């Protein structure tokens, strides 16, 4: 396992103990933090999908407004 800069050579058991103690300390705030994190991820996804829809609409409107370019060669001599 890669050692941390401030806590070198932490094993799995030590990490589990630290996680358990932090869960005991911050356990009552953890559901609200996760709820707000979930809401922010949902809003981010909505924003990204809105941007994708705007780009798709812009591309399709450019295709509709641009007339097809047929190249007809006219040789007049």
pLDDT digits (tens, 9 = 90+) for 19-69: 898 888 888 888 888 899 999 999 999 999 888 888 888 888 877 765 656
pTM over 0.85: no
Displacement of CA 31 from its chain's centroid (Å): 22
Residue 39 in 3-state DSSP? helix
Residue 22 in 3-state DSSP? helix
Position 33 scores a pLDDT of: 84
């Amino acid at each position: 396992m890669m050692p941390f800069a401030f806590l070198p050579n932490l094993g799995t058991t030590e990490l589990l103990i630290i996680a358990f103690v932090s869960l005991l300390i911050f356990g009552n705030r953890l559901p609200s933090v996760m709820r707000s994190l979930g809401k922010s991820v949902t809003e981010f996804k909505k924003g990204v999908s809105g941007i994708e829809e705007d780009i798709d609409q812009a591309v399709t409107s450019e295709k509709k407004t641009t007339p097809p370019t047929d190249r007809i060669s006219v040789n007049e001599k």
